[in-house]
Amino acid sequence: MLLTTRALDTKIPAHDRVYRRLRTRIMHGDLPPGQALTIRGIGNEYEVSMTPAREAVRRLAAEGALTMSASGRISTPELSNERIEELAALRALIEVELASRALPRAHLALIERLQVTNGAIAEAVAHRDAVSYIRTNLEFHRTLYLRAQAPAMLAMAETVWLQMGPTMRALYGRLRRTEPPQFHRLIIAALRAGDEPGLRLAVRSDVTQGLRMLAS
Amino acid sequence: MLLTTRALDTKIPAHDRVYRRLRTRIMHGDLPPGQALTIRGIGNEYEVSMTPAREAVRRLAAEGALTMSASGRISTPELSNERIEELAALRALIEVELASRALPRAHLALIERLQVTNGAIAEAVAHRDAVSYIRTNLEFHRTLYLRAQAPAMLAMAETVWLQMGPTMRALYGRLRRTEPPQFHRLIIAALRAGDEPGLRLAVRSDVTQGLRMLAS
DNA sequence: TGGCTGTTTTTGTGATCACAAGTCCTTATG
DNA sequence: CATAAGGACTTGTGATCACAAAAACAGCCA
């Protein structure tokens, strides 16, 4: 029997494929803030018709990853400073809780994985690669939070990341530094020591740290 | 010139109308958990074709108001106890912050509006009307949180409410009490006194109070 | 009577088309 | 040269249809 490109074809719907790929690009900062998109353009890029492209856009708009003007035009969000502050506060609230819940379950293998990821972050910083930086940084946080066994909270945190994606790219793009995030080391140290107050402070500091770049 | 039913027709798209009406019904507990829905059925009910009905469903599914099975079947969510605990914790985190931010802006007119709303809640409780209870209760919280001037946080809180809508109905349906929520009086008292720690505690207590019904 | 198999119906998915509103560019006019 | 008006093009919206897969149902056999 002849099989298609993949054995055991999982048969993912087209709208889901388009959604996932677009979502990844937005979350990682592959698109700048205010970038205009069209349904026909998306459909053309992913070789699907307007229908699944429209559903992917609608889904992303519902999550705040895309904004729609009154006339229905689609673009990545341009966040005001007030909204960035709000989203950072949400990150602090949710991610501190996630880290706290992950702490009792964080064994040595997890901490070592975090250190490896932290090395990848340092490499992205050294190469001035904004997209790689954002991707590995989110991977660091997600690796930790997955241990919290709290899928609804993690989904909320990822929604916030998604909304900040294009803006993060713009912020880190104007940042010119060579050292990796120092608070990640504090997070790892607190995990090793089982120090919950220290962990909460370290996560909060790491999450709200990017806010200082707004003063530039 | 002849006008339609509304002067200055705002021209709301069909998918948006369907979305809003469905969303309100779900958030207020008009649908029980696990209720099956079909795209054609929704389109028929609101007199639109499959296309806008599908977009409304997709949007609600993205917000967690509806769940889709692997084969694409649509239903209201049936939450596990673990997920209810998570959502309640999210409510506590976000709404305590919203209340805290609203406190400095809460003047007397707002507090009086909250008391009027609280009276409506008592009436709904007296009539054993679960939907009215949920609606007025959310109105109480939203009235307060609107003063926080934090639209992103409020949207997050409403998303959590939306996910809990059908389950709230089931929980309050099995509840047989006659007194209105006592913590609302504490919230109002803390607002009057400008007592921020007291407000945070009162909101947290009110939000997590419903969890005790899970033991039944 | 109970379980299984075949068919029929229901249901979500994706493509295509018509349409209206918005946007952009050209052009004429002051 | 600047500006406004006109048309051409782009773009989102909604309806309809074909199709495949899943669910529901009926009938058959042990």
Tell me the pLDDT of chain B (216 aa) as tens digits: 333 333 344 578 999 999 999 999 999 999 999 999 999 999 999 999 999 999 999 999 999 999 999 899 999 999 999 999 999 999 999 999 999 999 999 999 999 999 999 999 988 888 888 899 999 999 999 999 999 999 999 999 999 999 999 999 888 877 666 677 789 999 999 999 999 999 999 999 999 987 766 655
Phi, psi of A193 (to 5 degrees): -80, -10
Task: Identify the helix (H) or strand (E) that includes residue B179.
Answer: none
- Where do the domains of chain A lie, and which CATH numbers do they carry? 14-75 (1.10.10.10), 81-215 (1.20.120.530)
How many residues are listed for chain A in this entry?
A: 216
The pair of three-digit structure tokens given for residue A29, joined into one six-digit string: 């900062």
Chain B hits for A55, Cβ within 8 Å: 54-55, 58
Q: Within 10 Å of residue A50's Cβ, how many Cβ atoms?
A: 14
**A11 to chain B, minimum CA–CA distance in Å?**
11
| Cα atoms in the 13 Å half-sphere on the side-chain side of B61 | 21
Q: Among the residues of A11-49, which ranges form H helices?
A: 14-27, 39-45
Nearest CA in chain A to B52: A55
Provide the positions of strand D that have an atom within 7 A of a protein CB: 10-17, 21-23
- Separation in Å: D30 C1' and B73 CA: 35
Q: For residues A2 and A125, which has the higher predicted lDDT (pLDDT)?
A: A125
How far apart, in whole angstroms, are the C-alpha atoms of residue B201 and residue B184?
A: 11
The pLDDT value recorded for residue A10 is 59
Give this complex's ipTM.
0.87
Residue bearing tokens 């500091």: A205
Residues 6+ apart with CB under 8 A from A163: A63, A64, A65, A77, A79, A87, B152
Q: What is the pLDDT of residues A157-177, one digit of tens each?
A: 999 999 999 999 888 877 666
Q: Are B84 and B50 in contact (CB under 8 A)?
A: no
How far apart, in whole angstroms, are the C-alpha atoms of residue B186 and residue B54?
A: 43
How far from B150 is each of A3, A66, B22, B147, CA to CA, in Å?
53, 19, 25, 8
What single-letter DSSP state applies at residue B192? H
- Residue from B97, B156, B207 whose CB has the most chain A CBs within 10 Å, to mutate: B156
Provide the positions of strand C that have an atom within 7 A of a protein CB: 10-17, 21-23
Identify which of A15, A72, A150 has the shortest CB distance to residue B86: A150
- Chain mean position to CA A192: 25
Q: Are A181 and A210 in contact (CB under 8 A)?
A: no
Query: What share of chain B in percent tops pLDDT 90?
Result: 78
Q: Is A216 exposed, middle or buried (0-12, 13-18, 19+ CB in 10 A)?
A: exposed
The pLDDT value recorded for residue B125 is 87
Q: Which chain A residues have any C-beta within 8 angstroms of a chain B C-beta?
A: 13, 15, 51, 54-55, 58-59, 61-64, 72, 83, 86-87, 89-90, 93-94, 97, 150-153, 155-156, 159, 163
Q: Are A191 and A105 in contact (CB under 8 A)?
A: no
- Residue B93 to residue A89, Cβ atoms within 8 A: no
- Residue A163 to residue B153, Cβ atoms within 8 A: no
**3-state SS of chain A: helix, strand, coil percent to 5?**
70, 5, 25
User: In sequence order, what E strands does chain B have?
Assistant: 36-37, 67-68, 74-75
- Residue A152 to residue B86, Cβ atoms within 8 A: yes
Q: Are A186 and A202 in contact (CB under 8 A)?
A: yes
Using DSSP, state whether A69 is helix, strand or coil: coil
- Separation in Å: D29 C1' and A46 CA: 51
How far apart, in whole angstroms, are the C-alpha atoms of residue B138 and residue A59?
A: 25
